[in-house]
């Protein structure tokens, strides 16, 4: 199962997700927006996990823009600025995976993204549904529904409740015999042969 975590509106939630990964060995992919301070603030904690390959960073645009509403230049700028931030801060190349904010993309967006190496718009098959504030019990309920083999599951590093149920989520992974993977573990690409 690929456990992917988006945005990063909360510095504290990013820190707790990172500590969780460090403590549990869970492999994660963060689709981050560099416009949130959390990714610079937490870089010292996160950097060793990124450099070891346990945590992968993907491009979720700089400021969480709906790419389908932007000009061609705007689309490229949103992706390139975030790409450069990830490279400068973490020393890794996030290509070829980008996650279009809200899941909104079209042929024009995909062509523009591919033009700068982002050839894989990465959506999901299962969600913790925590883009808004939900309860801890709801997070566990959605995880129970979607933590399944060969699923890409999306969560967000925006609200606290998920952090308070990490033990329950980890128990689900164990009970179901799931192995967590990030995208580079499964797919090869030019940037990550
Ligand atoms: Zn998002």
| Residue 24 is assigned to a structural domain of this protein | yes
193 part of a folded domain: no
Compute, in angstroms, the gap from residue 22 CA to the centroid of ligand 1: 23
Please tell me the distance between residue 131's alpha carbon and the centre of ligand 1 in angstroms: 8
Q: Report yes or no on 158 lying in a domain.
A: yes
Residues 6+ apart with CB under 8 A from 21: 27, 28, 49, 54, 55
What is the structure's pLDDT at 3? Answer: 98
Counting the structural domains of the chain, the total is 1
Span 164-184, average pLDDT: 98
Greatest CA separation for the chain: 47
Residue 42's domain is classified under what CATH number? 3.20.20.370
Q: Is the pTM of this model over 0.85?
A: yes
Compute, in angstroms, the gap from residue 6 CA to the centroid of ligand 1.
5
User: How far is the centre of ligand 1, averaged over its atoms, from the C-alpha of 78 (Å)?
Assistant: 13
Q: Which domain holds residue 16?
A: 2-186
pLDDT score of 116: 98
Cα(127) to centroid(ligand 1), Å: 12
110 φψ region: left (φ > 0), alpha (ψ -120 to 50), beta (else): alpha
Confidence check: pLDDT of 189 > 90? no
Mean pLDDT value across residues 13-17: 98
Ranges of beta strands (E only) in the chain are 2-7, 28-32, 55-59, 97-98, 120-121, 152-156
Structure confidence at residue 188 (pLDDT):
86
Q: How far is the CA of 177 from the centre of ligand 1 (A)?
A: 28
Task: With respect to residue 16, please indicate whether it lies within any of the assigned structural domains.
Answer: yes
Distance 1 CA to ligand 1 centre (A): 19
Rounded to an integer, what distance in angstroms lies between the CA atom of residue 70 and that of residue 13?
Answer: 29
Across the range 129-153, mean pLDDT stands at: 97
Q: Is residue 192 in a domain?
A: no
Residue 179: inside a domain: yes
**What average pLDDT does the segment 119-137 reach?**
96
């Amino acid at each position: 199962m690929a456990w992917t975590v988006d945005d990063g509106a909360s510095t504290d939630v990013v820190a707790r997700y990172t500590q969780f990964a460090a403590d549990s060995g869970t492999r994660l992919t963060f689709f981050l927006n560099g416009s949130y301070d959390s990714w610079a603030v937490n870089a010292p904690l996160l950097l060793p996990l990124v450099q070891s390959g346990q945590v992968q960073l993907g491009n979720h645009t700089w400021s969480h823009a709906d790419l389908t509403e932007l000009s061609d230049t705007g689309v490229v700028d949103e992706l390139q600025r975030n790409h450069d931030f990830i490279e400068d801060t973490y020393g890794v190349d996030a290509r070829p995976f980008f996650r279009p904010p809200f899941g909104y993309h079209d042929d024009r967006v995909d062509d523009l993204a591919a033009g700068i190496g982002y050839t894989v718009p990465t959506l999901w098959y299962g969600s913790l549904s925590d883009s808004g504030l939900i309860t801890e019990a709801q997070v566990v309920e959605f995880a129970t529904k979607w933590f399944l083999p060969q699923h890409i599951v999306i969560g967000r590093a925006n609200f606290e409740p998920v952090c308070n149920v990490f033990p329950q989520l980890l128990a689900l992974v164990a009970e179901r015999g799931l192995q967590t993977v990030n995208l580079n573990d499964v797919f090869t690409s030019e940037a990550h042969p």
